[in-house]
Structure 1
Amino acid sequence: MASSQSRGIVVPQARAALEQMKYEVAQELGIQLPQDGYYGNMTTRDMGSIGGYITRRLVQMAEQQLSGYR
Protein backbone atom coordinates (compact mmCIF):
# COMPACT_ATOMS: atom_id res chain seq x y z
CA MET A 1 0.00 0.00 0.00
CA ALA A 2 1.44 3.36 -1.02
CA SER A 3 1.90 6.04 1.57
CA SER A 4 0.21 9.37 0.98
CA GLN A 5 3.16 11.11 2.60
CA SER A 6 6.08 11.82 0.30
CA ARG A 7 9.60 10.94 1.32
CA GLY A 8 11.36 13.81 2.97
CA ILE A 9 12.29 15.25 6.30
CA VAL A 10 9.94 13.91 8.94
CA VAL A 11 10.71 16.72 11.38
CA PRO A 12 10.79 20.03 9.46
CA GLN A 13 12.82 21.68 12.23
CA ALA A 14 15.65 19.25 11.46
CA ARG A 15 16.27 20.84 8.05
CA ALA A 16 18.65 23.48 9.45
CA ALA A 17 20.61 20.89 11.44
CA LEU A 18 20.97 18.65 8.38
CA GLU A 19 22.03 21.60 6.26
CA GLN A 20 24.68 22.53 8.84
CA MET A 21 25.86 18.91 8.97
CA LYS A 22 26.22 18.89 5.17
CA TYR A 23 28.62 21.85 5.29
CA GLU A 24 30.58 20.38 8.22
CA VAL A 25 30.99 17.03 6.46
CA ALA A 26 32.01 18.69 3.20
CA GLN A 27 34.65 20.70 5.04
CA GLU A 28 35.97 17.58 6.80
CA LEU A 29 36.21 15.79 3.45
CA GLY A 30 37.87 18.77 1.78
CA ILE A 31 35.00 19.33 -0.64
CA GLN A 32 34.12 22.91 -1.52
CA LEU A 33 30.35 23.45 -1.76
CA PRO A 34 29.15 26.29 -4.01
CA GLN A 35 27.95 29.37 -2.15
CA ASP A 36 25.07 29.95 -4.56
CA GLY A 37 23.45 26.62 -3.64
CA TYR A 38 23.62 25.22 -7.19
CA TYR A 39 25.06 21.70 -7.02
CA GLY A 40 24.78 20.92 -10.75
CA ASN A 41 28.52 21.25 -11.24
CA MET A 42 29.39 18.97 -8.33
CA THR A 43 30.56 15.44 -9.08
CA THR A 44 28.38 12.51 -8.20
CA ARG A 45 31.30 11.03 -6.28
CA ASP A 46 31.67 14.12 -4.07
CA MET A 47 27.95 14.42 -3.37
CA GLY A 48 27.72 10.68 -2.67
CA SER A 49 30.63 10.93 -0.26
CA ILE A 50 28.93 13.73 1.62
CA GLY A 51 25.59 11.89 1.74
CA GLY A 52 27.20 8.63 2.81
CA TYR A 53 29.18 10.26 5.57
CA ILE A 54 26.07 12.08 6.83
CA THR A 55 24.19 8.78 6.89
CA ARG A 56 26.98 7.09 8.84
CA ARG A 57 27.06 9.95 11.32
CA LEU A 58 23.28 9.89 11.82
CA VAL A 59 23.30 6.11 12.35
CA GLN A 60 26.14 6.47 14.85
CA MET A 61 24.21 9.18 16.72
CA ALA A 62 21.09 6.97 16.83
CA GLU A 63 23.10 3.98 18.07
CA GLN A 64 24.58 6.08 20.86
CA GLN A 65 21.14 7.28 21.90
CA LEU A 66 19.70 3.78 21.82
CA SER A 67 22.59 2.34 23.83
CA GLY A 68 21.50 4.57 26.71
CA TYR A 69 18.08 2.89 26.79
CA ARG A 70 19.37 -0.60 27.55
Structure 2
Amino acid sequence: MPRRNQPLVPQAYAALELLKYEVAQELGITLSPDGYNGYIKTRDAGAIGGNMVRRMIRMVEQQLSTRV
Protein backbone atom coordinates (compact mmCIF):
# COMPACT_ATOMS: atom_id res chain seq x y z
CA MET A 1 0.00 0.00 0.00
CA PRO A 2 1.53 3.37 -0.99
CA ARG A 3 2.13 6.03 1.62
CA ARG A 4 -0.54 8.68 1.56
CA ASN A 5 1.21 11.31 3.66
CA GLN A 6 3.64 12.46 0.99
CA PRO A 7 4.26 16.22 0.76
CA LEU A 8 2.53 17.82 -2.23
CA VAL A 9 5.77 19.66 -2.93
CA PRO A 10 8.61 17.10 -2.66
CA GLN A 11 11.17 19.88 -2.15
CA ALA A 12 9.38 20.78 1.10
CA TYR A 13 10.17 17.42 2.74
CA ALA A 14 13.43 18.61 4.33
CA ALA A 15 11.78 21.74 5.72
CA LEU A 16 8.93 19.68 7.19
CA GLU A 17 11.42 17.34 8.84
CA LEU A 18 13.27 20.29 10.37
CA LEU A 19 9.99 21.74 11.61
CA LYS A 20 9.05 18.38 13.16
CA TYR A 21 12.29 18.14 15.12
CA GLU A 22 12.09 21.81 16.16
CA VAL A 23 8.54 21.44 17.47
CA ALA A 24 9.40 18.17 19.25
CA GLN A 25 12.35 19.83 20.96
CA GLU A 26 10.17 22.75 22.10
CA LEU A 27 7.69 20.25 23.56
CA GLY A 28 10.44 18.26 25.26
CA ILE A 29 9.88 15.16 23.15
CA THR A 30 12.96 13.28 21.97
CA LEU A 31 12.81 11.98 18.40
CA SER A 32 15.19 9.44 16.96
CA PRO A 33 17.61 10.83 14.38
CA ASP A 34 17.30 7.64 12.29
CA GLY A 35 13.64 8.42 11.54
CA TYR A 36 12.01 5.59 13.52
CA ASN A 37 9.80 7.03 16.23
CA GLY A 38 7.47 4.10 16.86
CA TYR A 39 8.26 4.24 20.57
CA ILE A 40 6.71 7.66 21.22
CA LYS A 41 3.23 7.96 22.69
CA THR A 42 0.32 8.66 20.38
CA ARG A 43 -0.46 11.74 22.43
CA ASP A 44 3.06 13.09 21.88
CA ALA A 45 2.95 12.38 18.14
CA GLY A 46 -0.37 14.22 17.95
CA ALA A 47 1.03 17.16 19.87
CA ILE A 48 3.94 17.42 17.44
CA GLY A 49 1.67 17.22 14.39
CA GLY A 50 -0.86 19.65 15.83
CA ASN A 51 1.78 22.22 16.68
CA MET A 52 3.32 21.83 13.22
CA VAL A 53 -0.06 22.58 11.62
CA ARG A 54 -0.63 25.60 13.89
CA ARG A 55 2.78 26.98 13.01
CA MET A 56 2.28 26.43 9.26
CA ILE A 57 -1.15 28.12 9.39
CA ARG A 58 0.41 31.07 11.25
CA MET A 59 3.14 31.36 8.58
CA VAL A 60 0.60 31.34 5.73
CA GLU A 61 -1.61 33.88 7.49
CA GLN A 62 1.40 36.18 7.89
CA GLN A 63 2.28 35.78 4.22
CA LEU A 64 -1.29 36.52 3.18
CA SER A 65 -1.55 39.57 5.42
CA THR A 66 1.53 41.14 3.83
CA ARG A 67 0.03 40.75 0.35
CA VAL A 68 -3.12 42.73 1.11
**Divergent runs of 4+, >2 A:** none
Q: Which has the higher helix share?
A: 2
Residue range with higher mean Cα deviation, 17-26 or 7-16: 7-16
**Structure 1, unaligned runs of 5 or more:** 1-5
| AA of the residue aligned to 2:26 | E
After TM superposition, list the pairs within 5 Å mapping 1:28-67 onto structure 2.
Answer: 28-67=26-65
Corresponding residue number in structure 2 for 1:3: none
Cα gap change, 1:21 to 1:7, in 2 (>3 Å): closer
**Structure 2, unaligned runs of 5 or more:** none
Q: TM-score, normalised by structure 2?
A: 0.87
RMSD, matched Cα: 1.3
Larger-gyration structure (1/2): 1
Q: Measure how far apart 1:23 and its partner are.
A: 0.5
Between the two proteins, what is the percent identity of the paired residues?
58
Aligned residues: 65
Q: TM-score, normalised by structure 1?
A: 0.85
